[in-house]
Structure 1
Amino acid sequence: MMLNGNFKYLSISIYLVRQTWTQTQLHTKCFDSKY
């Protein structure tokens, strides 16, 4: 049960990191396009 909870937390963490990474990539592209 503890392991399952940790796995769920890990999955959420990975999801958030991927979302943040994607947004950062988009912002970088916009920045490169402008300048």
Structure 2
Amino acid sequence: MLTLLITAFVLGLVFNATPGPVIAETVRQGVRGG
């Protein structure tokens, strides 16, 4: 359970540290490619 919480916390930091525009562009490229 502790490992799951730590993993979720780390993923949260990663997503929060990633700029929104970068995520939006990645999604656009994924939609075009898919």
TM-score interval, smaller chain = 0.5 to 0.7
Coordinate RMSD, CA, aligned? 2.0
Q: What TM-score, normalized to structure 1?
A: 0.52
More helix by share: 1
- Gap regions ≥5 residues in structure 2: 23-34
Calculate percent identity across the aligned residue pairs.
Answer: 14
Larger radius of gyration: 1
Q: What stretches of structure 1 of length at least 5 have no aligned partner?
A: 1-6, 29-35
> How many aligned residue pairs are there?
22
Q: What is the TM-score with the length of structure 2 in the denominator? A: 0.54
